[in-house]
Chain A
Amino acid sequence: MADAEAFDLICDQIEARTSLDRLAARGTVRIALKQAGLDSRSVTPEQMVVVAEKVLAGELSSRGIANANALCVDLAAKARKLVGGVSSETPDAIFRRLGG
């Protein structure tokens, strides 16, 4: 199962705009997602926005990335542009619906 579009977008941006290489960028975002109880394959753009705003800055700062907060605000804005696109059903969405 491939990684989600929002995950790929954020990783590409981090790789392009910081000193982290591809592996480190993806690993950092995966760690942030794990802290938030999410998965790179199923994360939705809405969830990625919140992770970028609330979790990712700390992870990037701990890896010596300067201006991590400002970068994450921008990353969240980019992820927000994906909101409303095609997304697969997550367990959350199904269990929310089944609750009525």
Chain B
Amino acid sequence: MLDALLAISTVAFIVAGAVVGVRLLRLAMRTHELTDYIVACSVLVLSPITYPLILVGTLGNFSLDETKLLSSISTTLIMIGWTGVFIFTQRVFRSGEMWARVFVGVGIAVIWYDGAAGIAFIQAAPDRAALQSPHSPLLWVQVAAIVVYAWSAFEGFRCWTLARRRLALGLADPLVVNRFLLWGFIGLSSLLSIVPSLVISLSGGNGMTHVGSRLCTAIGGLSASIALQLAFLPPAGYRRWVEARAAA
């Protein structure tokens, strides 16, 4: 049952990321806005590119060197994707604020410093067991990801709260207001996918095999996929529902 839920969640995450990512990339190619390119690339890199790569590396029958190569590439891609999430959050929600620029700088430095150490660890691993150890590095990369998703969720919910007041004055589009809410949910869902696994790993367990952690990962992945789709490629029926609710 849990395996089936994880499989559905994984497929949904990859498909939603691919569809939404391509649409955002096409939009960015039309607008030539850096912010649009950043969010498009982050979605594409984190979902339909890296996720299948991790699955192939985990499930495929590769030599140790090939597995190391795949792990190093997927780690680098994750670092690129999370760097994008940091920059996007700052550019959209806190542009022009010095503290946010410093915060993002620190976050990105942590990701790349610890990520580089993680890749060195992968390359030096003597066997497959060492690669799959729950105590491998990348702790601080994951902490940085938790911080940026929490920040991103906070900003989404904050903007949603403010935008609802503007909606009452006719100063906001109901779909944009709803998009802020969904953006907050995407951040929360991403946290749900990462935090339990990390906590279990830090407490000595294996986050990759723990039932509770896997359940959280599945629910988080599924809810993030749905929110991503509704936010950036909503079906006509959903659009009508949001607009009707705002008009009521």
Point out the residue from B33, B93, B162, B233 that lies within 8 Å of A97, measured CB to CB. B33
Interface segment, A5-13, A22-30, A47-55? A47-55
Min CB distance, B198 to chain A, in Å? 29
Residues in A whose Cβ lies below 8 Å from that of B24: 98
Known contacts A89-B35, A89-B95, A37 near B27 by CB under 8 Å: no
Within 8 A of A (CB), among B33-61: 33, 35-36, 39
Give complex CA distance A96, B172 in Å: 10
Residues in B whose Cβ lies below 8 Å from that of A88: 95-96
Tell me if B179 and A1 are in contact (CB < 8 A): no
Residues in B whose Cβ lies below 8 Å from that of A100: 23, 27, 232-233
Residues in B whose Cβ lies below 8 Å from that of A92: 163, 166, 172-173, 176
Tell me if B96 and A97 are in contact (CB < 8 A): no
Chain A's interface size range is: 20 to 34
Point out the residue from B31, B93, B166, B176 that lies within 8 Å of A36, measured CB to CB. B166
**B interface residues, tally (CB under 8 Å):** 35
Task: Decide if A35 is an interface residue (CB 8 Å cutoff).
Answer: yes
Chain B residues within 8 Å of A, Cβ to Cβ:
23-24, 27, 31, 33, 35-36, 39, 92-93, 95-97, 155, 159, 161-166, 169-173, 175-176, 179-180, 183, 231-234
List 29 A–B pairs whose Cβ atoms lie within 8 Å, in order of A's numbering. Answer: A35-B165, A36-B169, A37-B164, A38-B166, A38-B171, A47-B166, A50-B171, A51-B169, A54-B169, A55-B169, A91-B155, A92-B166, A92-B172, A92-B173, A92-B176, A94-B92, A95-B92, A95-B159, A95-B180, A96-B175, A96-B176, A97-B27, A97-B31, A97-B36, A99-B175, A99-B176, A99-B179, A99-B231, A99-B234
Chain A residues within 8 Å of B, Cβ to Cβ:
1, 35-39, 41, 47, 50-51, 54-55, 88-89, 91-92, 94-100
